[in-house]
Structure 1
Amino acid sequence: MSDPVLPVVIIGGGGHASVLVDILRQQNRDILAVISPDPIDSRSVFNGILHLLSDDDIHQFETNAVRLINGIGMLPGNTIRKHVANKFEAMGYRFDSVIASSAIVSPFAQLADGVQLFPGSIVQAGSQLGTHSIVNSAALIEHDCVLGNFNHVAPRATLCGQVECHDSVFIGAGATVIQSISIGTGAIIGAGAAVTKDLSVGHICLPAQSVQQSIEPKVMP
């Protein structure tokens, strides 16, 4: 469970982390540090936060005195987010969830540790979200959906009722999964795709290619 009383340390300093920090700042959460080997000063949202360069710097914080925020995003086939979670949890640290104030979450939904719900996202009654899963901006998880661990539902994607996603599923921006569909572990659904049949483990579903055709201007006689 999340502990909103404890201060947090952000793991990662890129775009995904910047949105999380923005959410946490608006909620007046105490952010002790950002751990990232890369520069973070180009993003003003990090101003005033201690920047640590090495994962080993986490050891200056007692495991029971802070919570971590997984600031590593998830792209198709990329396992860095999962690696970060496993590494720091093995050290005894725990990850908090981040739920934007504008997210709508049914009290009858179940959220595991490390879940991240971005602004405008909706999680309806009876849905279950696994650890470290992301529901990005304005994405919709309808009733009775079950998402495994390390899923990413990208902005404005829609999961209709009773969809089941196993672990490490990526659902691209604006994609739609109709009701009662099962999505296998590691499957990838491209942006804008409409999924109407079950998707097997590791399979990829892409939208139909658009056809572009030049139109010759008509010359009036």
Structure 2
Amino acid sequence: MSLPVILLGAGGHAKVVLDVLLLLNRKVLGVCDPQLASNGVSAWRSFPVLGADEEILNYSPSSIELANGVGSMPGSHLRRNLYKLFVKKGYRFTTLVHPTAVLGSGVSLGHGTQVMAGSIVQADCYIGDNTILNTAVRIDHDGYIGQHAHLAPGAVACGGVVVEEGAHIGPGSILIQGISVGVEAVVGAGTVVIRNVPSHHFQTGQPPRQAKSII
């Protein structure tokens, strides 16, 4: 029997996470959000606002699971910090897989991983803790995605790609086979990555090439 869930955050990503929870028939006790709480808001999307994040401490770690509704953007560590804070206190973040997502054989998902609508993860991939595979992400065989990473909507990782901890892969980007993206690296939207991206680097676009006749 699944434990009831408290959702952290009430922004755009939280809306998507809540939808997945409801599709999976998870019991949602409410949402914790500091801004809503400070503004005296009592309900969000028909669910009670329980208070700020510290309200979670009134629940035993054995009685609930948490869902991380905080999004992930380059340069922001709020999602990661919340995850680490509550894991250290003994709480567990639920792993969510949208019913329309496809997981191949041998796929391993970490704690708190979120696989969103229409995503495909092929055979023998590893997805780390607290990582987001956003809407319609494609990861081919033998991929490794480190913890706290974010593959934004429509990102594609071909076979054997490595994305290290905290990296951000922008929407619609493509990582060709065997590419490595380093720790905290950022790949811009729509970028086709044909060379390894070092840790803490930003990769976007490609050098323009002269058009060639195909006849």
TM-score relative to the length of structure 1:
0.88
- Match of residue 186, structure 2, among 170, 185, 188: 188
How far residue 209 of structure 1 moved from its aligned partner, in angstroms, is 8.5
| Distance (whole Å) between structure 2 residues aligned to residue 87 and residue 33 of structure 1 | 19
Structure 1 segments unaligned to the other structure (5+ residues): 211-221
| Distance (whole Å) between structure 2 residues aligned to residue 55 and residue 209 of structure 1 | 45
> What is the match of residue 14 of structure 2?
17
> What is the match of residue 69 of structure 1?
67
> What is the match of residue 35 of structure 2?
38
How far residue 208 of structure 1 moved from its aligned partner, in angstroms, is 4.2
Counterparts in 2 of 1:53 and 1:142: CA distance versus 1, 3 Å: same
> What is the match of residue 122 of structure 1?
120
| Distance (whole Å) between structure 1 residues aligned to residue 71 and residue 25 of structure 2 | 23
| Distance (whole Å) between structure 2 residues aligned to residue 80 and residue 209 of structure 1 | 34
**1:75-102, Cα deviation, whole Å (9 max, x unpaired):** 0121111100011112111111111000
Give aligned pairs, total.
204
| Distance (whole Å) between structure 1 residues aligned to residue 207 and residue 16 of structure 2 | 31
8 Å Cα contact 1:21/1:46 also seen in 2: no
| Distance (whole Å) between structure 1 residues aligned to residue 51 and residue 34 of structure 2 | 5
8 Å Cα contact 1:181/1:197 also seen in 2: yes
Paired letter, 2:192? A
> What is the match of residue 158 of structure 2?
160
Of all paired residues, the percent bearing the same amino acid is: 34
| Distance (whole Å) between structure 2 residues aligned to residue 7 and residue 74 of structure 1 | 24
TM-score relative to the length of structure 2:
0.90
| Distance (whole Å) between structure 1 residues aligned to residue 78 and residue 207 of structure 2 | 30
SS in structure 2 of the partner of residue 58 of structure 1: helix
Paired letter, 1:126? D
Structure 2 segments unaligned to the other structure (5+ residues): 209-215
How far residue 111 of structure 1 moved from its aligned partner, in angstroms, is 0.6
SS in structure 2 of the partner of residue 39 of structure 1: helix
8 Å Cα contact 2:192/2:206 also seen in 1: no
> Which 4+ residue blocks in structure 1 deviate beyond 6 angstroms?
none
How far residue 188 of structure 1 moved from its aligned partner, in angstroms, is 0.2
> What is the match of residue 103 of structure 1?
101
Larger Rg: 1
